[in-house]
Amino acid sequence: MIDLKEVAEYIDLAAANASSVQQLQGKFPISLSDAYKVQELSIGRRLTRGEKLIGYKMGFTSKAKMEQMGVHDLIWGRLTDSMHVADDGFITLDKFIHPRAEPEIAFRIKEDIKEEVALSEIQSIVDGLAPAIEVIDSRYENFKFSLEDVVADNCSSSAFVIGDWLSPDTEIKNLDIQLSVDSEVVHAGNSNAILDNPWQSLQEATRLITAYGDTIKAGQIILAGAATPAIYLKACNRVTVNVSGFKTISLNVE
Ligand code: OOG
Ligand code: MG
C-alpha cells in the first residue's frame, strides 16, 4: 500500500526546497483519484504552515498547452495566498526550479458554489474578470510528467499575477492575447483557445471541483488555463500579458 501522506510530503518538500524530484511512476505508482488526494494532502501541509486557500486553477484547457506538455485531460489545482504576486511585482529565480509563465484569464466568484453550474448560468456566479499571468514550476525533473504526476503536484502551480478586476459583463470571448518578454511578443493567441470559450473553463471548474467535494467560496479566484504555450523564465526578464480590452499586466524576474 502506498502511503499518500508520504507522497504528499515528497511533493511538498520538492516545492518548498525548490529542488526537482523523480516522477512518481516506479517509486509511487498511484491512480488519478489518489493523485487528487495527494494534491489535497500536500496543499494541506501548506495550509497548516499558515497559507490560505484563495482559489483554484484549471489546466490543459487549450490545445496549445496539451500539445506542449503531452497531457490531454482537463486538470485542476489549488491556489494559495503565498502564490500571489502583485501586478508589476517580482519573483526570485532561486525560489523556483525551472519556472515558466503563461497568459490566463481570472474569474472572481460571487457566491459559494457547491454544485455544477450550467454554461447558460455561469456568468451569474462571477463578480469580476481580470487578465492573469500564471507561473508554473513542475516539481519533476525536466518538467516532464504524466497526468497523475501533474495532478499530485498541484498542476505545477507556483505563482500568479492578477490584473485589476473589471465588471463581469466585460467581453472575454474572442480576445487577442499576447505574451511578451522584454517587450517582444513571444506567443500570440486568442481567448477562444480556452475550450472554445473561456466561460466553458469556469463551467468545467464548477463540475470537477464540486464533484471532488470542495465548495468554491465567494471571493475565490479561478484561473481559466493558458491560451498559449508557456515560456521559460530567465533572470532579469520582464514578462507582460495583454488581453485586449484589459490593462497590460507584468511580472519581473530577479
Ligand atoms: C501543468 C499546468 C497546466 C494550464 O494553464 O494549462 C496549466 C503544466 O503545464 O505544467 O496551468
Ligand atoms: Mg496555467
Write the pLDDT tens digit of every residue in 106-163.
999 999 999 999 999 999 999 999 999 999 999 999 999 999 999 999 999 999 999 9
Which run of H or E residues covers position 100?
A: strand 100-109
pLDDT, tens digit only, all 254 positions of the chain: 899 999 999 999 999 999 999 999 889 999 999 999 999 999 999 999 999 999 999 999 999 999 999 999 999 999 999 999 999 999 999 999 999 999 999 999 999 999 999 999 999 999 999 999 999 999 999 999 999 999 999 999 999 999 999 999 999 999 999 999 999 999 999 999 999 999 999 999 999 999 999 999 999 999 999 999 999 999 999 999 999 999 999 999 99
Place of cell 499518500: 4
Q: CA triplet 94, 181, 166: central angle to 5 degrees?
A: 100
Q: Is the CB of 179 under 6 A from ligand 1?
A: no
Q: Which of 68, 133, 136, 223 to mutate to test the pocket of ligand 1 (most atoms within 8 A of CB)?
A: 136
End-to-end CA distance of the chain: give it in Å, rounded.
Answer: 43
**Angle between helical axes of 4-17 and 32-48 (0-180°, round to 10):** 60
Rounded Cα–Cα distance for residues 150 and 74 (Å): 11
Going by C-alpha positions, the residue among 22, 8, 61 that lies closest to residue 207 is: 61
Q: Is the CB of 65 under 6 A from ligand 1?
A: yes
Provide the grid cell at 212.
Answer: 471532488
Rounded Cα–Cα distance for residues 186 and 191 (Å): 16
Write the pLDDT tens digit of every residue in 101-122.
999 999 999 999 999 999 999 9
Residue 13, φ and ψ in degrees, nearest 5? -70, -35
Indicate which ligand has the atom closest to the C-alpha of 101. Answer: 2
Place of cell 507556483: 158
Q: Is the CB of 139 under 6 A from ligand 1?
A: no
Rounded Cα–Cα distance for residues 123 and 28 (Å): 40
Provide the grid cell at 203.
Answer: 463551467
Q: Using the mean position of ligand 1's atoms as its centre, give its distance from the Cα of residue 62 in Å.
A: 10
Q: Over the range 126-137, which residues count as b (16 or more CB within 10 Å of their CB) and which as e?
A: bebbbbbbbbbb
**Is beta strand 238-243 parallel, antiparallel or unpaired with respect to 249-253?**
antiparallel
For position 236, what pLDDT does the model report?
Answer: 97
Q: Is the CB of 231 under 6 A from ligand 1?
A: no
